[in-house]
A and B are shown apart, each in its own frame.
Chain A
Amino acid sequence: MGLSDYFKPVSAWAAGEVKKFLRERDADSYNLVDVRQPGEYECGHLPGARLIPLAELQDRLRELDRTKPTITY
């Protein structure tokens, strides 16, 4: 096995694609997650984003609806 057998690309959307997606979908049809720190979230965040700091993400996954697409930033 080589290195490429261990890792695969993770899809990432550009900001423009995310804006288009959010504009065209109802707010309850996706999970929008801000994984930054609370202070950063308070300074500004995407409309409707739920704050789950990276260090807490694993323990709080149940708060997300697995049947819906999830966008993180």
Chain B
Amino acid sequence: MSGGINAWNGLVAAGAHDAGLAYYSRASEPVELISLSWALEEGNRVFYDRIFWSAPDLDAASIFRSLSLAEEQHKKSLRELHARVSGMDTDPPLPEGMTSGYWLEGGSPVEEALERVRGMKGNQILEYCMAMEANSLDRYIKMSRSVEGDRPRELFLRLSGEEKSHIARMASLLDRWRG
């Protein structure tokens, strides 16, 4: 439901954002899926790096920093997989349309997302990040189902599990804040 419980209650959620787009590509070529994932992980990393500086408290700052590091680790895993399946020890080529700037799930520019979270309260920022991670989780699950090859499938499944743990960690902080 667009706008969530706030909309049901007749309220307009401040800074509410419905991502509105989900991953659906039917591509199954490993290199193409690795490239898209790598570009989105890089976008996530930049996003978390930037919001780290506006984190509402130390716990949130700590989560944003560790998420940024986790995305860097995901990029490393994807780079290694790319080298293995393509034989080229380079960063994966960026997909068409994503060669300049940084991008998040749904194909939205990082700058737009940063603008969107500006002025949000801490809990709203966390909810926004949880929605982002949920989209990553969804994408990796879909990719693991469609990709050719055991190794890419295993990596996508592992990354989906890590995205899920990110959501759980932010949910836990959200609960702590609400007491």
List 6 tightest A-B contacts by C-beta distance, closest first. A12-B2, A3-B97, A15-B7, A55-B168, A3-B107, A73-B1
Q: Could you give, for residues 13-56 of chain A, a 1 whenever the CB lies within 8 Å of some chain B CB and a 0 otherwise?
A: 11100110000000000000010111110001110000001110
- B96 pairs with A2, CB closer than 8 A: yes
Asked if B25 and A54 sit within 8 Å, CB to CB, the answer is: no
Given that A12-B20, A37-B178, A55-B171 are known contacts, is A2 also in contact with B97, CB under 8 Å in the complex?
Answer: yes
Query: Taking chain A's interface residues, is the majority helix, strand, or loop, or is none over half, making it mixed?
Result: mixed
B107–A6 touching, CB < 8 Å:
yes
Q: Residues of A contacting B25 with CB < 8 Å?
A: 1, 5-7
Total residues of chain B contacting the partner, CB 8 A = 37
A residues contacting the other copy or chain, number (CB 8 A): 33
Which of B2, B98, B130, B174 is A15 in contact with, Cβ under 8 Å?
B2
**Which single member of B2, B36, B167, B175 contacts A14 (CB below 8 Å)?**
B2
A-B contact pairs, 8 of them (CB 8 A): A1-B25, A1-B32, A1-B96, A3-B107, A15-B2, A39-B178, A45-B5, A57-B134
CA of A56 to CA of B117, assembled, Å: 25
Known: A15-B1, A72-B1. A6 touches B23 (CB 8 A): yes
Question: Is the pair B22, A8 in contact by a Cβ cutoff of 8 Å?
Answer: yes
CB neighbours (8 Å) of B154 from chain A are: none
Does A67 belong to the interface (CB within 8 Å)? no
Asked if A71 lies at the interface with its beta carbon under 8 angstroms from chain B, I say: yes
Q: Interface on B for A, CB 8 Å cutoff?
A: 1-5, 7-8, 10, 18-25, 27, 32, 36, 95-98, 103, 106-107, 130, 134, 137, 141, 164, 167-168, 171, 174-175, 178
Across the interface, do B24 and A71 meet the contact criterion of CB distance under 8 Å?
A: no
Q: Does A69 contact B (CB under 8 A)?
A: no
Cβ–Cβ contact B171 & A53, under 8 A:
yes
Do B8 and A15 have beta carbons less than 8 Å apart? yes
Which chain B residue shows the least CB distance to A10? B22
Contact A55–B164 (Cβ < 8 Å): yes
**A7, A12, A44, A58 pick with most chain B CB within 10 angstroms:** A7
Which B residues are CB-close (under 8 A) to A39? 175, 178
